[in-house]
Structure 1
Amino acid sequence: MDDFSGDWGISVMVVCAVFTVYVLVLLLVTSGRDPGIIPRNYHPPELESYESNAELGIDQLPRFPRTKDVVVNGVIVKVKYCDTCMLYRPPRCSHCSICDNCVERFDHHCPWVGQCIGLRNYRFFFMFIFSASLLCLYVHGFCWVYVRKIIDSEKTTFIKAMGKTPASIALIIYTFLALWFVGGLSIFHLYLIGTNQSTYENFRYRYNGHANPYNRGIVHNFLEVFCRGIPPSKNNFRAKVQKKSKMPLPHDLGSSFVSTSSANARRGPNKAAWDEGIGRDNSMGPEISTVESMENRL
């Protein structure tokens, strides 16, 4: 600090300390905030109206629908029924196998923060990794400046300067390695935000030239993440937990909620149905894999 002229040394240390506290606060907010957990149902939802040609079970009763069609920006999206939470997952929602909860706009489960990243904490997660990248750049750059000042002031070599400030060399190596991780992650999430994708959607499937029903353009996509109000939590974490009811048996679950005829009527001639569960365009023909194989890929 004494090698910097005037009050520069103190300023560098103060900025670094404040920036570090800011990054830690973002980490705590990301980790401690409800990511968008959807409360579980204590009873299965009521069977909605079904057609006369609906598939019947062994007991001649209509099977409980396995999927449901919803319209997102003019595109029909198939959403799946969650056996654990006993609800139809909203679009972009997924059940985290680690947290055992359905999370709205599920991005991924981050082991580094010990929390799912979803609708209510994705903004803070991105701010955390982006700020951590800037902090690494800041420390890395000023450590090099400090080493260079030693070389110039003492007319010595880089090897000898390393011996005079081993802490700076250690920080240079550490921040360089950390920057590859958090910096690369920040760039990847900038791409995801610009295209309005989640990490889960990007790794699970790709749109393969088909229109992304959630993509509203780069500007609107960024405004959606950083400027849209965060919805309140749907959970009362201090409420008493009720006794869980018996879940429906697997043979009571059917394969579809909307028949082909009714889906085509709502879809129109030029609208393709996007399967939220398996990430495919249903206009390409029937899916070969069964419901069980789709779940194995989750």
Structure 2
Amino acid sequence: MCMKSNQNDEKQTAFDDPDVHDTQICCCCHSDSPVYAILWPLVFFFSALTDFPMPLPKGKKPGQHRDWGWVPVLIVTGILVFVYYGYLHSIVLVLLRQLDRQAQAIGYLVPFNVLFILFLISYGRIVSQTPGHPNLLGMDNPTSTKGTHHDSSINIDRIEDLKLTQQKPDTILGDPKWCEACQIWKPDRAHHCRVCDACVLRMDHHCPWVNGCVGVSNYRYYIQFLCYVSLLGSFTFASSLAAFVEFHGLATFDNVALATVIVSGIITFMIGTFTMSHIWLVLLNRTTIENSQFQSWNKAKKSGEAQNRLIEVFTETGRNVFNQGCRANWVEVMGSNKLLWFLPLSSKQDAQKDGIHYGYNPSVLEEYKNEDASRRKRPSKQEKRPQ
């Protein structure tokens, strides 16, 4: 449901270079203005809602005032509560009381309530479920000093010691990347979110509408949430529009029913389109960040711009290392239990996701590594330039 993500922050880490630090931390500049510090909660809310980086007040750290992130959640809840009230008040009760069409009213009421309940459960799961963080899912990080990157007196030697002493996660795309913010090694497909101020495993994007990131541990709930919002909006829009056209002469249909039709129509169009795009990404085994990186890289390649490094996850021919075929890709995200494709309930497969190991295409991985090795042997553009 989030229309924007941390895509811009990933551009510096879009290439497979083990020596490149993950710099997509946050806007680390500070503002000394006391007025700005007072208004910081509102500024943070704007930043989280729009994904626009804002400078921090002096003394503040990324992740503070995240309680303001609940405002978009309350907005979503309020919109759906209005739709629920409008549908029952202006559609179902009119059919029952004024027109005595009990069968039609029940035909509207039952599927509407089923979809609404599934929406509430899936929304609750995505809001409450952690997306998965490297230091929570099996990575050895006994001496992390997260937060010291904000201190100007940071000990560089201490960071180098951390890099040497911390256990590196298993990776197939080369050496793991180091996160300067969390001061940990990150596995494949993990990225740092500047809003949450934390690394997220298989990060898809940060969504202010769920007050958090979408990652390996909650992506299935996110897909279910999008699907049920789209289905609920579509059913409400179609049935409300049909009833409004047929019975708009009744007084109770004039205002509330019309508003219900408009709001549900907007939900259907906006969220429905977004849902289809995410289902497409699941079938291709791409995250939103990876897809954005690929589109930018592909555009640059077609325009003839030189590329000094391979783009992460993809080969030069545009093949995805993690694309195992539509069915395998779907099962990796949604699980093998078909019933749980539709029910937002926990599963054993969810517990087995460590956020470090993923299925991959062996032939594409070999192609990726060969291209990577070939690229590393080539002289850089500066080396080719005559002196």
Superposition TM-score, scaled by structure 2 size: 0.51
User: Alpha-carbon deviations, 1:203-246, whole Å to 9, x = none?
Assistant: 23344633211100111111111115113698xxxxxxxxxxxx
Work out the CA distance in 2 between the residues paired with 1:95 and 1:162: 54
Does 1:271 find its partner at 2:370? yes
User: Alpha-carbon deviations, 1:117-136, whole Å to 9, x = none?
Assistant: 00010000010011100000
* Mean CA deviation greater in 31-40 or 137-146: 31-40
Work out the CA distance in 2 between the residues paired with 1:184 and 1:284: 44
CA shift in 2, pair 1:86/1:232, >3 Å: farther
Work out the CA distance in 2 between the residues paired with 1:113 and 1:87: 26
Higher RCO structure (Cα 8 Å, ≥6 apart): 1
Output the amino acid matched with 1:105: R
1:203 is aligned to 292
1:172 is aligned to 261
Work out the CA distance in 1 between the residues paired with 2:381 and 2:117: 52
Work out the CA distance in 2 between the residues paired with 1:212 and 1:44: 33
Does 1:230 find its partner at 2:350? yes
Does 1:25 find its partner at 2:139? no
Q: How does 1:123-272 map to 2 (within 5 A)?
A: 123-150=220-247, 164-206=253-295, 207=314, 209-227=317-335, 229-231=349-351, 271-272=370-371
Work out the CA distance in 1 between the residues paired with 2:130 and 2:369: 39
Decide which structure has greater strand share.
Answer: 1
CA shift in 2, pair 1:232/1:194, >3 Å: closer
C-alpha contact (below 8 Å) 1:43/1:86 kept by paired residues: no
Work out the CA distance in 2 between the residues paired with 1:164 and 1:144: 11
Work out the CA distance in 2 between the residues paired with 1:173 and 1:193: 30
Q: CA RMSD in A?
A: 3.7
* Mean CA deviation greater in 171-180 or 125-134: 171-180
User: Alpha-carbon deviations, 1:159-185, whole Å to 9, x = none?
Assistant: x57984322211111111112221111
- The percent identity for this pair of structures is 23
Gap regions ≥5 residues in structure 2: 1-94, 146-155, 296-313, 337-348, 355-365, 383-387
C-alpha contact (below 8 Å) 1:36/1:233 kept by paired residues: no
C-alpha contact (below 8 Å) 2:134/2:201 kept by paired residues: yes
Decide which structure has greater helix share.
Answer: 2
1:88 is paired with a residue of what secondary structure? strand
1:88 is aligned to 185
Output the amino acid matched with 2:370: K
Aligned residue pairs, count: 225
User: Alpha-carbon deviations, 1:130-150, whole Å to 9, x = none?
Assistant: 110000000001112212332
C-alpha contact (below 8 Å) 1:38/1:101 kept by paired residues: no
Task: Quote how far apart the aligned CAs of 1:86 are.
Answer: 2.5
C-alpha contact (below 8 Å) 1:34/1:233 kept by paired residues: no
C-alpha contact (below 8 Å) 1:78/1:273 kept by paired residues: no
